[in-house]
């Protein structure tokens, strides 16, 4: 429940803090958090290194464009969600498309990292996460 509240607050802050100079105000509808379908991560991290984490999600139409990540840090736990900007447009094609985006992650700790990737809600409205533990090894 704590994570849901945090995710909701983060979603609201992203929704209300976007730079309106960068979008067409007549077509911009807001932002939407989309479920993550899959993730490509290394088997282990080396402290001080930066890794590209590939995150794949399905966007419902071409009127959805990647905007940012919701990224929450609590000790060695990272919660990640994908946020898309949504536009209204006569040229929208309502066809799902698999999109892969990358998140650069710099390893600063020596303990195992726990990543929780948001995968939507279950039938009871509970948040679902894909959980990955990645140990940190010496070089």
Cβ atoms of 20 and 74 within 8 Å: the answer is no
What confidence score (pLDDT) does residue 3 get? Answer: 57
Residue 21 CA: distances (Å) to CA of 6, 17, 28, 45? 27, 12, 11, 38
What's the token pair of residue 124? 């009871």
What's the token pair of residue 20? 């309106």
Cβ atoms of 50 and 105 within 8 Å: the answer is yes
What confidence score (pLDDT) does residue 54 get? Answer: 98
Query: pTM for this structure?
Result: 0.80
Distance CA 49, CA 61 (A): 36
Question: What is the residue extent of each domain of the chain?
Answer: 2-137
Percent of the chain residues past pLDDT 90, beyond the cut: 78
| Residues 93-119 pLDDT 10s | 999 999 999 999 999 999 999 999 999
What confidence score (pLDDT) does residue 23 get? Answer: 43
CATH match for 2-137 among 2.60.40, 1.10.3470, 1.10.287, 3.40.140:
2.60.40
Q: What is the mean pLDDT of the chain?
A: 87
What confidence score (pLDDT) does residue 17 get? Answer: 44
What confidence score (pLDDT) does residue 139 get? Answer: 77
Straight-line distance from the first to the last Cα atom of the chain, in angstroms, rounded to the nearest whole number = 38
Q: Which residue ranges in the chain fall short of pLDDT 70?
A: 1-26
What confidence score (pLDDT) does residue 14 get? Answer: 46
């Amino acid at each position: 429940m704590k994570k849901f509240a945090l995710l909701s607050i983060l979603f609201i802050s992203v929704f209300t803090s976007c730079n309106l100079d960068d979008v067409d105000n007549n077509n911009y509808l807001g932002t939407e958090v989309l479920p993550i379908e899959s993730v490509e991560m290394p088997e282990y991290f080396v402290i001080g290194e930066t890794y590209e984490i590939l995150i794949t999600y399905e966007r419902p139409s071409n009127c959805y464009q990647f905007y940012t990540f919701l990224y929450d840090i609590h000790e060695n736990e990272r919660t990640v969600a994908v946020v898309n900007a949504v536009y209204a447009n006569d040229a929208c094609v309502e066809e799902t498309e698999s999109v892969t985006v990358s998140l650069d992650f710099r390893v600063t700790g020596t303990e195992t990292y726990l990543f929780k990737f948001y995968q939507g809600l279950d039938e009871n409205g509970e948040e679902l996460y894909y959980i990955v533990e990645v140990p940190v090894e010496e070089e």
